[in-house]
Amino acid sequence: MTLRSAVCFFAHPDDETILAGGIITLLARQGVRVQVVCATRGEGGEVGDPPVVPSRELLGAAREAELRCAVHTLGASVTVLDYIDPAVGEGEVLHPFAVAFDTLAKQFGEIARHYQADLVLTHGVDGEYGHPAHQLVHWAVLAGVPAALPETLVYTVAARVPSIEDRLWNQSEAAHLALDIQPWGAAKVGAMLCHVSQHALFKRRRGLQTVPEALRTTESVRRAWPDTHGEPPQDAFTGLLREAGAWLLE
């Protein structure tokens, strides 16, 4: 099988860039049509410091524009769904967006079928750092996509890479492959620069002075479907990644 079409399901603007910006760029440059599907406009997120929008009501529209800039920079296309990202609660409590699980799973299956996806990328089982909206998207993809397209490869991104201290995400799932994305790093930094409202957050999280310093240079993936039964996956996506220099972790 040759990869022709990939669909990436994420919860918020900037997830596509931070978690998979290098791999999305690689896929696009290899001639794979990549569609990024973002469930919300991230209207519950930060408005920037100093604020980039005059009022919180405008944040969703601003972040949608940032997302379009970023995805274009990565060489992909974007679909924004109309779910509402709830504001971060007291004590930094995070919430998923409101939707019936079965409805979301069916919608993801239909979108994957519409784009005739050979490959689907999505959030990891832990929602990277426990974000419930990321976990909701993860489970809805795994419920909806194989039901609609049983042959389609489903991979999670940001899986754990034990040799890399920086990778503390998705502790429950070990990566099958990791890739040094620096050859595609300029595009990923360009996409990070599009997400202006999140720049303060990118820097603050790791105590950095500039946005490019926040570039995560290793991206990792784990095949979630079809089950590999404990074996390393071997498919069209792993072939493409290995040619790009990715290494197997098991």
Residues lying near Zn ion in the complex (CB under 5 A): 11-12, 15
| Distance from C-alpha of 200 to C-alpha of 110, rounded to nearest angstrom | 36
Q: Where are the beta strands (DSSP E) in the chain?
A: 5-10, 33-40, 77-83, 119-122, 153-157, 177-180, 218-225, 247-248
- Residue 140: CB minimum distance to Zn ion, A: 14
Q: What are phi and psi of 134, to 5 degrees?
A: -65, -40
Minimal distance in Å, beta carbon 127 to Zn ion? 8
Query: Is 8 or 11 the residue whose CB approaches Zn ion more closely?
Result: 11
CB-nearer residue toward Zn ion: 16 or 118: 16
Nearer to Zn ion, 124 or 146 (CB): 124
Distance CA 155, CA 146 (A): 12
State the nearest-atom distance from the C-beta of 22 to Zn ion, in Å. 17
Least distance to Zn ion from the beta carbon of 17, Å? Answer: 11
The amino acid that residue 142 corresponds to is L
**What separation in angstroms does the CA of 61 have from each of 47, 66, 93, 197?**
12, 9, 23, 11
Judge contact between 228 and 175, C-beta under 8 A: no
Q: Which is nearer to Zn ion, 15 or 43 (CB)?
A: 15
What's the min distance (Å) between Cβ of 4 and Zn ion? 27
Smaller CB distance to Zn ion: residue 45 or 146?
45
* Residue at shortest CB range from Zn ion: 12
Write down the least CB distance from residue 63 to Zn ion, Å: 11
- Torsions phi, psi for 43 (to 5 deg): -70, -10
Q: Which is nearer to Zn ion, 127 or 146 (CB)?
A: 127
Tell me how crowded residue 57 is: count the other CB atoms within 10 A of its CB: 9
